[in-house]
Chains A and B, each alone.
Chain A
Amino acid sequence: MALLSVEDIHTAYGLSRVLFGISLEVDAGECVCLLGRNGVGKSTTMRSIMGITPPRAGRVIWHGRDMTGAAPHRMARAGLGFVPEDRRIFAELTVWENLDVAARAARRPGAWTIPRVCELFPILAERRDQRGGFLSGGEQQMLTIARALVGNPELLLLDEPSEGLAPLIVDLLREKIAELKAQGMTILLAEQGVAFSLALADRVYVLEKGSVRHAGPAAELREDHALLDRLLSL
């Protein structure tokens, strides 16, 4: 049984429909990537899974239980760690306060503690008492990932972690995410960056206009450039 399975979800913001029957599965230990351009529904899929924008139809099954429409805080406490695309750092709170709030909110004590995420991202220890709003974009991105980790999630939802960051920082983040994956973290990644996602993913879902256009192993796309071009050129 898959850790997470999303069954034919349809999601809309008011009258504007965004998802037209997306289905996907994530098994424990996998890194699954949602690949596609801006506006194809990657973020909305993430928000639907988290219950922030509940789907109008379809189901979200977590550990075999139907969690469709559950409040976001219930999803988080059930083990989903959400890293939103716009980072959403609490700008007025210090780095440490951001992490402390996250750890308390999730109420899931475990191996990921504040000292441990600071080992993964040493810059956060250096910036401990600085306000989140004063961090650089890359530092903020690390803080959001760290914030999700201290909740000891079973599945990390990473929405466009590389967006708007300098190439050097993107490389660093890719290494860190690969490190998380190597430690056994299950990851659902949404990305526009083909190189970034193919370097990390085991399996890929290519989204287009709110539907799944292609699903398959990442290795297939890494080797078959013609297929990749066809899928992403449209």
Chain B
Amino acid sequence: MTASLLVGQFLSGLTTSMFLFLIASGLSLVFGVMRVLNFAHGSFYMIGAYLAWQVVTWLHPVGEAFWPAALAAGLGVAVLGAVVERLLLRHLYGLDELYQLLFTYALVLILGDAAKYLWGTGQLSVHRPPVLDGGFQLVGNTVPYYNLFIIAVGPAIAITVGLVLSRTAAGRMLRAASADREMLDAMGANVGLIYTGMFAVSSFLAGLAGALITPMESIVPGMDVQVIVQAFIVVVIGGLGSFWGTFWGAMIYGQVLSFGILILPEFSLFSVFALMAVVLIVRPWGLFGRPIR
């Protein structure tokens, strides 16, 4: 193994990690605060990708339309999430978790079909924004600027959300809501509104992630289910509901996948499933989670 190969695999793993973190962070936040395991989170990501394509197509197929399109995709999906939470999901709080699982799974099917109806079943693609075209050389590897951008966005979002949670009034409210919803409500906070806001923010992150993947991968039906499985693995490794756990879970996932392919090329996804199995056996609550609550 040469240094060039190692650096190359590391960077490719890091890109995967940061990308998955963008998606898994929203999943983890919603579970942490609301105790809802949102199976449709991957569908929100897919809708974000299609929305970005749509807006880019409307505005200008090649130019810097990508940036407003990414923002629009995030906001569009945030509105979708808020509507879903307010009108539908809210009726399932306090019921058996199975109902939430069935409901969000139904959403996966509905949104999947809706996407096929609106955008067809063909592959769609979006150009890289011109400002991030090209790449640079690093120990014999060509690193696209766009990958570097993704690698920077992950920690930026992690630090922002981390600071908001630990240092701001909104973060304190969210942590209180996560600890005891009924008590916070009896203290005067409109917890229903906090939940809608939390779900909208989580959906925004999913939509944004969907938009940001479009220059790297083509948009196809089925990308929703593929990504939700990966995001679940990340969240399980890190510990359900632990925000920083999700960050490190994504870091580990990316590297294990990247170097796993190097060692066992025939079993590309085997390594991460094996990792999850080991974590579940040794620490069922995840690397950064806490047992029972």
Contact = CB atoms under 8 A, between A and B. Distances in A.
A53 to B, nearest CB: 10
A92 B179 contact: yes
Interface in B185-205: 185-191
A90 interface: yes
A77 B172 CA distance: 19
A118 to B, nearest CB: 18
A88 B185 contact: no
A117 interface: no
Given A93-B175, A100-B169, A105 B188 contact: yes
A148 B191 CA distance: 17
A91 B178 CA distance: 11
A73 B179 contact: no
Interface in B64-100: none
B191 A104 contact: no
A151 B188 contact: yes
A100 B178 CA distance: 16
B184 interface: yes
Interface of A: 50, 52, 71-73, 75-77, 82, 84, 88, 90-93, 97-98, 100-102, 104-108, 147-148, 151
Question: Which 10 A-B pairs give the minimum distances between C-beta atoms?
Answer: A76-B188, A105-B189, A106-B188, A105-B188, A72-B186, A105-B187, A88-B183, A90-B179, A72-B185, A101-B176
28 contacts: A52-B182, A52-B185, A72-B182, A72-B186, A73-B190, A73-B191, A75-B186, A76-B185, A76-B188, A84-B186, A88-B180, A90-B176, A90-B180, A92-B175, A92-B178, A92-B179, A93-B179, A97-B175, A97-B176, A100-B169, A101-B172, A101-B173, A101-B184, A101-B189, A104-B169, A105-B173, A105-B188, A106-B188
